[in-house]
Each structure stands twice: as structure tokens, then as C-alpha cells.
Structure 1
Amino acid sequence: MDKMIILIIGILYLIVILVIGIWSSRKQKDMSTFYIGGRSFGPWLVALAISSTTMSGYGFVGLPAIAYENGYIIIMLGIFATAGIFVSFLVLAKPLRKISEKFGSLTISDLLETRYNSKAVRVVTALAILGGAIGYQMAQYKALGNMLQTVLGVRYEVALFIGVAILTVYVVAGGMISAVWTDFIQMIIMVAGSLIVFFGGLRLVGGFSQMNRELTQINPDLTQAFHTNGGSMTIFIFLSYFLLYMIGQQAQPHVVTKFYMIRKLSMLKWAAFIAALTYGLTVLLWFSGPFTRILVERGEMAAPASADLVVPTFITTYFHPVIAGLLFAAVMAAIMSTSEAFLLLASSSVVRDIYQQVIKKGKELPPKKELSLSRWVTLATVALTFLLSLNPPDLVGWLGNASWGLFVASLLPAVSIGIWWKRATRQAALVSTILGFSLSLILYILKVKGIYTPQLDTGAIAFIISTLSFVIVSYLTKNEKSELFSHEDPRIQADKLVIENKQ
């Protein structure tokens, strides 16, 4: 009976999502509305879309699993990521929104071709985004399958198919309009679910003081910002998380492309505060990891079959079926909000950045053909990532972390430094992107295979090297004029565009 109640609530949630997708499908006109919603959203919609896609199934399922095994260092990651939202708004929000409107940019690669006047930069960054999106999507699908197999009591493969089928309908039909509206609803569910889990779990373990005492007895490292007693999460991992999540937030294409979508520039300051606040509240769910660890050690709860099942096991064990159903909906919301973002991101890399702008040499397509092609490529991306996720490597948390680091190493120098630094060159953008992507991938594979395990996170190492290469190559190569800086600083251009918009 309990499982039936959870199942009914989950089905009702999925029906609502499907209705939004079908409703949004009628608003699709062309590639612009499909990928960025026609720049028509207000601050609440944009802010909750940013915090929702930042959290993801990686955050809601994978990071509690890592917290279960490693303790509070994962909570530090949440603090860094919350601060990182402010950093990304400060560095990129205004210039990306203004420049994208002036030059008609729909993707990050659009913006970078304009900045570096190079089709090669477009192609390389589009391929890096596509590769990272597929890896990140595998983490989302693995989380999706883990959640549904717990609720439905079916095999992982069957659960994954059901979840992906529902996701496909509303993303392929509704595009970004559907994604943003479902993000809005899903983030409200996520915040409520996180608060329920946090305060409910805190009551179960006897409060913070009692929790800290018991965690210290299990292993003193569990209550530290980083491990000092032989644990694997050392000061070097702490520093890696600072680089990847506080600085690297601005290199996440599924997040920063949301800056393109806001209706007015004046709304960005409100969006920054709302996004950081709501994301910070959802981080409270990560305490389910330490809560579960204590209850397992006490013998009050059976150990999860896998660390990735910490959240679903904790929810089904200790919460009323109605509350558990809502909490499952919250976790599903986290997974689906990021899944839709990455599907659209991967699709736009193929349709906009490679097919239209490179193969068709920038030729405008009829709006209906644009929309049809965008949907078919999105569907193909769903099929590919589904097949890859049937037997995915690693835990959700580590898989998501690797993809996050890949984006940071590949994109941050070319985007965040290049948008402000006039001396940056196209050769530097090419070298840093290729080097960042390759190193991230190679180092991660070596780590997974047990061949080489560095002290710093593999993504952080690749980021440091790609940034140094970006600066060095820029000074060694000829500086070429960029249309972005042809007349004045992008900050001045951005301010002028604000005035024009108000007029």
C-alpha cells in the first residue's frame, strides 16, 4: 500500500510534466524559441531554471552518496557552488545577455565564434560541449534509473526506459519553454523536499551536536572540511572543489546559456539572488548522506545496497508514504531538470553550431525546418545517451563531477577570460579547449582504471593547465581584432544596450 501511494504521487507529477510539454509544443516557432525560449522569461523563471539545472540528479542523488561515504567535505562543495552562482552572474550574466542579443547568439559556440572570428573555435567548443553533455547526461540517467527502480520495484533497465520515455515527450515537444516552466515547478518541489528531509533527518539523529559526536566516533574525518586522518578527500580535493565549483560554475553551458533568456537586463540582479538562495536550500538534502550513515551504524536502518541508493532508501524507510511520494517527485525533478537542459545543449551543438553554421555556412533555414531538425536531433541524442546509460561506469556523483570538470577545463578560459581580455587570441582558445577536454578525459580514464590517481581532482588539473596554456599562447600569437571589441568594451556595450532596451 505504501509503495502504491508513492507510485500514484509520482505518476501525478509526471502527468503534470507531460501536460506542460504538450502545452509548450504549441509555442514552438523556430530554433530560437526551441533553444532559448525567445528571450522572453522573467527573473523567477530564469533563476529557478539556473538553480534547478545546477542541482541535477548528480546533486540530488550522487552527492548525498558521496557524503554518506566521506562526510562534510561534500557540504563544502555545496557552499562553493552556491557562491559560484553569484560569481557566474557577476562575470558573465550581463555581457552574455547583451552581446548575445546584439549578435543573435543562441549558443556558447555562437558567442565564441564572434569573439575569436573563427569557425574552428566554434567547431572545437561545440564538440567539447557535446562530449561533456553526453557524459553528464549519463549521470542523470543513472540517477533516474536508480530512483525509479526503487519506486517501481523493477530492474534498472526497465526503470530507465520508463523515465527516459517520459522525458523524451516533454523535451522534444516543448523545447526550452517546456524546460524552463518545468524547472520552475520542479525547483519549488526540490526546495520543499530538501527542507523536509533535512529537518526530518536532523530529528532522527538527535540534532547537530549528537550527529557530530557520532560521526566523529565513526571517523573524525567525516566532520571535517577535508580529511586529515588518512581519508581520500584531502586538502587537495578541497582546493579542487573550490576551483571547480566556485570558479568553474561560469563554465557550465547548461547554466550560463540561461543568461540569454531573461527578458530585461535589469532583472539579472534579482535572478542572481533567487538562484543562489534556492540552490543553497536544496543543498540541505545532501545531509541525508551523514544521516543515513549514523542510522546504519546504530543498526536502525539497513545499509543501502549501493551508495547511489542512499536517498531513495532513506526516504522510503523514514517518511510517511505521502511525504515520501513528494520527496521522490523532488528527486525526479532534480534529475529531469538537468536532463532536459543537457539534451537541448547537445542538440544545439549539432544543429546550430555544426550543421547550420558550418555545413550550411550560416545559411538561414525555414523556421519549420529548423524546429523539425532540432527535435529530430534531440530525439537522436536521447537514444544515444540511453544506450550508453544501460551500463554506465562509476557512481553518479563521480560521473557528474568528471563531466563538470571537463566543462570547466574546456570552456572557462575561452569564455570567461576571453570575453573580457582583448589580448586573448583564437589560437589560445583552440589550444586551451582541446587541451582542457583531452586532459580531463585522459586523466579521468587513468584514475578510473587505477593507473594514475593524482592528489588534485582530474578536472582541476586540466583546468589549471588549460588556463596557463590560454594565457601563454595568447602572448605568443598575434592579437587580431574582434568584432566584440571593434568599438568599445563589452561592459560599455552592455550598458548601452540596457538603455536601448529601456527606451
Structure 2
Amino acid sequence: MILAIGIIYLLVILVIGIFSTKHQKDMDTFYVGGRSFGPWLIALAISSTTMSGFGFVGLPGLVYENGYSIFMIGIFATGGIFVSFLILAKPMRKISKKFGSLTIPDLLELRYNSKSVRVITALAILAGAIGYQMAQYKALGNMLQTILGINYGLALSIGVALLTIYVVAGGMISAIWTDFIQMIVMIAGSLIVFIGGMKMVGGMTNMNSQLSNINPDMVNAYHSTGSIGIFAFISYFFIYMIGHQGQPHVVSKFYMIKKVSMLKWACIIAASTYGITVLLWFTGLYARVMVENGSMAAPASPDLVTPMFIQNFFNPVVAGLIFAAVMAAIMSTSEAFLLVASSSIVRDIYQQVIKKGEKLSPGKELAYSRMVTLLVITVTFGLSFNPPDLVGWLGNASWGIFSASLVPVLSIGLLWKRATRQGAIVSSAVGLISSISLYILKVKGVYVPSLDTGAIAMLLSAGTFIFISLLTKPESNAVFDIDYKGLKDAKNKAI
């Protein structure tokens, strides 16, 4: 029954992907869907890609190990959605409309009149996307491994094959529509697990009492000892609330909304729906209590907590629906990352730098985009057979890469006219190099700082950006010719 429901769900997603093929005419439709979507579609796409397989599989595993402290990620990420809409949504949508921007590096080259900024930020997006995609693939393999009762390698191969068909075929139109459907499934699954699991552990008070007996730190916002202390709390604030503005798979969706006036509704819907799906993370708390009282076997890896809990404690029909919700989280973010990764290569490096802006035919652009998407899938698939970390920490590291490389040059740069191209070049390079280097040193055990490596890199990048901008001469820029506040309603409707 679980398998049947899962197959039906995947077939529906595949049909949407294949059906969307006929709407793909050029890079504009492949990457931004022709800027034609309403607030509900954009909002649910933003909340579903913010959650991801990292959220639905990796974070319940971290909650299982660490308790309530991990929920600060969800709280800060919900706040981050509001911050991103407040700072970036309107200017990004208007710049995209006026100048035809399709990607984040498109906008950044325009802002700083610099190909170097385009290249560095495109490489940062590619690096972060590969890391995040590894997290999605590992989550996908863990889920199918449990459902099908097969080894991880075969499960990973099946999941990636299905994902490839509908992402390569459908592009962003497929992604937005499947995100919409998948977020509805994710909300339903989260509520079912939260309510059903709470009954199993005897309510919140009883559960918290048992968790406190296991370790008093399990019920605290941060731990008194160990790695999830006050510095982790501070790190989550920087990476997930401030750093949300640098997540290209999320903020690039601001390009796609039909009208600027719809953004305020999309913001409320996105934050609310994301907050509901965070309820699924209680799976980690439920599983920890049940393992301790002998009702559930201890998982071989924290990444298996969600699939094991669902399979063990829900009837097959409900379990099938919940598994579909988890698969939805994984696939919605996978498609978003594959598209931003391929756009960073085709649009931002090949077409705009190597070919120096040479115009390609729409058919050739689309063909290159699909080929590169397939290449990125192949590379990340190979790396995912032996990933260096748990799903949760892989996803966290990728958020850190994006935050450090993109937040200062994007968010500060669109607000601060004094920012210069020299500051942007050095800042984005410092963010990319430091975030990757510090994470590698941490994984190898060479240097394990109290503050998260991504947060450190973002602070270094922001400080560098401001310092060098103040030392260098600013230039006039077409981006600031747009009147963000004074446009009349009639003009908003036209946009």
C-alpha cells in the first residue's frame, strides 16, 4: 500500500513534468517561467524549497540527537522569509522586468558593472547547489531505501532517475506547479505526523518530561555543553534569518511573480505554510522518546529517523501519504537547485562570459540548459554515494556558502548606493573561499570553531564588502534609476 501510493504520487509529478515540456520555448520560460505566476504558486514554491529534504529528513535527525535547539533553525528561517520579502522581493522583481534578468548573477553584474562579480557568484551558486543537492539525494536514497527495503545505492539510483525525467523535461514551469502540489502534500503530512505522534508519546508535558530525563539540554533552546550551545544559536540567526536572502533557489522566485502588488500576500502565505511544515520535525522528539522506552529500535543513522518512525507507527495508507510528503520536500528543492546550478553555468558563465553575451537561438539555449542540468545531476549523483556528512549538516553548510557569498553583495548592494564593484568582487570571493575552506577544516577536525563556519564566513564577507567599498570610489548605476517607492498603481498593474 505504501509503495502503491508512492508510485501514484511520483507518476502525477512525472506527468506534470512531461506536460510542461511543450511550454518550454527559451531560457526565460525554462528558468523563470515567463514571469507569469500568481501569489499562491510563488508562495508555496518558496516555502517548499525553503523546507526541502534537508528540512524533512535531515533536521528531524538532528532533532533526534539534540532536541528542541534545532527548532531555532525553523523559527529563524520563518523570520528569514519575511526579511527576504521585505528587502529583496520588490527590487528584484522590478529589476528583472526592466532589464530582463534571469539569474542572481545577471542582477549582480548589472548592479556592479562587473563580469568578475557574475563569475564568482555563479561559481558560489554552483558550489552551494552541489552540496545542497548531495543532501537532497542522500535524503532521497534514505527514504526509498526504507520504503522499498533495498540497499542505499539502488534506492538512490531509482530516485535520481525519476527526478531527472521531470526536471530536465519541464524546467521552471514544471517546478512551480509541482512545488504547489507538493507543498499541499507536505502540510497535510506534517499535521498528520505532529498530531498522531503527540498522541503516541502521551502529550507535550509527558514527552518533555521524558526528554529532560534523557538529557536536560534536550528541552532547551541551546545546550549548556557541547556543540549546540549559545554560539550555535547565534549562528542559526545569521545563517537562517539573515542568510535566507542569499538562497538562490528561493529568492530567484521573486523574478517569477506576475505583479509586484501580489508580493505582500505571497510573503504571508510562504511564511505561514513553512511554519506548519516545521511541525514534522517533532518526529525526532517522538522517535527519541520511543527509542528510550523500547517502543522503537534505534536508527542506524539519524537520517533514517523520519522514514523509520513513519513506517513503524502509521497504517500503510497514512504512511504512504506521509512518505509522499517527504518525497515532495526532497523533489521540490532538488529541481530548484538543479535549475539554479545549470543557469549558473549556461547563462552566467558560458553565454555571458565565454561567448561575451552572444545571442543564441532559443532552441539552442534550451538544449544547452537541459544538457547542463543533466550533467549536474550526474556529478551530484556520483558524489552522493559516499557523502561526507549527515543530511542536516550538509544542508547547513550549503546555506552557509550561499549566505557568505551572496547576502552582502545582493542585499546590502541593493540598499546601499555607496557599495562598489571592488568591494563586491573581494567580498564574494572571500565568502566563497572561506565558507568552503572552514567547512572542510571542520569536517576533517583540523579547526572546529564555536560559531558555525557559514556564519563566520558571512561576517568576514560583509565586513570586507563594507570596508573596501568605503575605500573605493562608487559609480553611477542604472539599477538605482528605478523608482521603487513612487510607482503608481497603474504602472504596478502593467508590470
**Is the shorter-chain TM-score for this pair beyond 0.5, marking a shared fold?**
yes
* CA RMSD, 1 decimal: 1.0
- 2:131 equivalent in structure 1: 135
Q: For each residue in 1:246-299, what CA deviation from the matched residue of structure 2 results, as whole angstroms up to 9, or x when unmatched?
A: 111111000000000000111101100110010000000001101100010011
Counterpart check, 1:350 vs 2:357 = no
Q: How big is the shift at 1:353?
A: 0.5
- 1:110 equivalent in structure 2: 106
Q: How big is the shift at 1:9?
A: 0.6
Q: Of 339, 357, 363, which aligns to 1:362? A: 357
Partner-residue secondary structure (3-state), 2:23 = coil
- 2:50 equivalent in structure 1: 54
Contact 1:73 1:225 in 2 (8 A): yes
Cα distance between partner residues in 2 of 1:496 and 1:362: 31
Q: Which amino acid letter does the alignment assign opposite residue 106 of structure 1?
A: L
Pair 1:497–1:15, CA change in 2 (3 A): farther
Q: Of 68, 72, 91, which aligns to 1:72? A: 68
Counterpart check, 1:500 vs 2:491 = yes
Contact 1:427 1:477 in 2 (8 A): yes
Q: Which amino acid letter does the alignment assign opposite residue 157 of structure 1?
A: G
Q: Which amino acid letter does the alignment assign opposite residue 403 of structure 2?
A: V
Q: Which amino acid letter does the alignment assign opposite residue 484 of structure 2?
A: R
Counterpart check, 1:226 vs 2:222 = yes
- 1:309 equivalent in structure 2: 304
Contact 1:85 1:275 in 2 (8 A): yes
Cα distance between partner residues in 2 of 1:21 and 1:177: 8
Q: Of 383, 401, 406, which aligns to 1:411? A: 406
Q: Of 184, 208, 215, which aligns to 1:212? A: 208
Q: Of 284, 309, 314, which aligns to 1:319? A: 314
Aligned length: 494
Q: Of 412, 416, 430, which aligns to 2:425? A: 430
Partner-residue secondary structure (3-state), 2:487 = helix
Cα distance between partner residues in 2 of 1:11 and 1:322: 13
- 2:469 equivalent in structure 1: 474
Q: For each residue in 1:446-495, what CA deviation from the matched residue of structure 2 results, as whole angstroms up to 9, or x when unmatched?
A: 1111111100001001111110000000011121222212x36x524xx5
Q: For each residue in 1:340-389, what CA deviation from the matched residue of structure 2 results, as whole angstroms up to 9, or x when unmatched?
A: 00000000001110111111111221111111111111111111111111
Q: How big is the shift at 1:498?
A: 5.7
Q: Of 191, 195, 198, which aligns to 1:195? A: 191
Q: For each residue in 1:163-216, what CA deviation from the matched residue of structure 2 results, as whole angstroms up to 9, or x when unmatched?
A: 011100000000000000000000000000000000111101111111111111
Q: Which amino acid letter does the alignment assign opposite residue 70 of structure 1?
A: N
- 1:42 equivalent in structure 2: 38
Q: Which amino acid letter does the alignment assign opposite residue 22 of structure 1?
A: I
Q: Which amino acid letter does the alignment assign opposite residue 328 of structure 1?
A: F
Q: For each residue in 1:397-441, what CA deviation from the matched residue of structure 2 results, as whole angstroms up to 9, or x when unmatched?
A: 001000001100010000000011001011111111111111111
Contact 1:98 1:497 in 2 (8 A): no
Q: For each residue in 1:35-70, what CA deviation from the matched residue of structure 2 results, as whole angstroms up to 9, or x when unmatched?
A: 000000000000000000000000000000000000
Cα distance between partner residues in 1 of 2:116 and 2:5: 49
Contact 2:16 2:178 in 1 (8 A): yes
Cα distance between partner residues in 2 of 1:173 and 1:250: 29
Cα distance between partner residues in 2 of 1:481 and 1:502: 29
Partner-residue secondary structure (3-state), 2:388 = coil
Contact 1:13 1:329 in 2 (8 A): yes
Unaligned residue ranges in structure 2 (runs of 5+):
none
Cα distance between partner residues in 2 of 1:353 and 1:327: 38
Q: Which amino acid letter does the alignment assign opposite residue 281 of structure 1?
A: I
Q: Which amino acid letter does the alignment assign opposite residue 330 of structure 1?
A: A
Q: How big is the shift at 1:327?
A: 0.6
Q: Of 473, 480, 483, which aligns to 2:478? A: 483
Q: Of 288, 294, 308, which aligns to 1:293? A: 288
Contact 2:261 2:492 in 1 (8 A): no
Counterpart check, 1:448 vs 2:443 = yes
Q: Of 274, 279, 291, which aligns to 2:269? A: 274
Pair 1:364–1:501, CA change in 2 (3 A): farther
TM-score normalised per structure 2: 0.99
Cα distance between partner residues in 1 of 2:124 and 2:82: 25
Q: Of 11, 18, 35, which aligns to 1:15? A: 11
Contact 1:44 1:271 in 2 (8 A): yes
Cα distance between partner residues in 1 of 2:437 and 2:404: 13
Contact 1:140 1:338 in 2 (8 A): yes
Q: Which amino acid letter does the alignment assign opposite residue 353 of structure 2?
A: V
Partner-residue secondary structure (3-state), 1:322 = helix
Q: Of 92, 95, 100, which aligns to 2:96? A: 100
Cα distance between partner residues in 1 of 2:58 and 2:150: 21
Q: Which amino acid letter does the alignment assign opposite residue 80 of structure 2?
A: G
Cα distance between partner residues in 2 of 1:97 and 1:498: 15
Cα distance between partner residues in 2 of 1:498 and 1:127: 38
Contact 1:227 1:235 in 2 (8 A): yes
- 1:182 equivalent in structure 2: 178
Contact 1:80 1:245 in 2 (8 A): yes
Partner-residue secondary structure (3-state), 1:363 = coil
Contact 2:77 2:244 in 1 (8 A): yes
Q: How big is the shift at 1:497?
A: 7.7
Unaligned residue ranges in structure 1 (runs of 5+):
none
Q: For each residue in 1:292-318, what CA deviation from the matched residue of structure 2 results, as whole angstroms up to 9, or x when unmatched?
A: 000100111111111100000000010
Cα distance between partner residues in 1 of 2:493 and 2:278: 37
Q: Which amino acid letter does the alignment assign opposite residue 57 of structure 2?
A: V
Q: For each residue in 1:4-54, what CA deviation from the matched residue of structure 2 results, as whole angstroms up to 9, or x when unmatched?
A: x11111110110000000110010000000000000000000000000000
Contact 2:31 2:172 in 1 (8 A): yes
Cα distance between partner residues in 2 of 1:280 and 1:370: 38
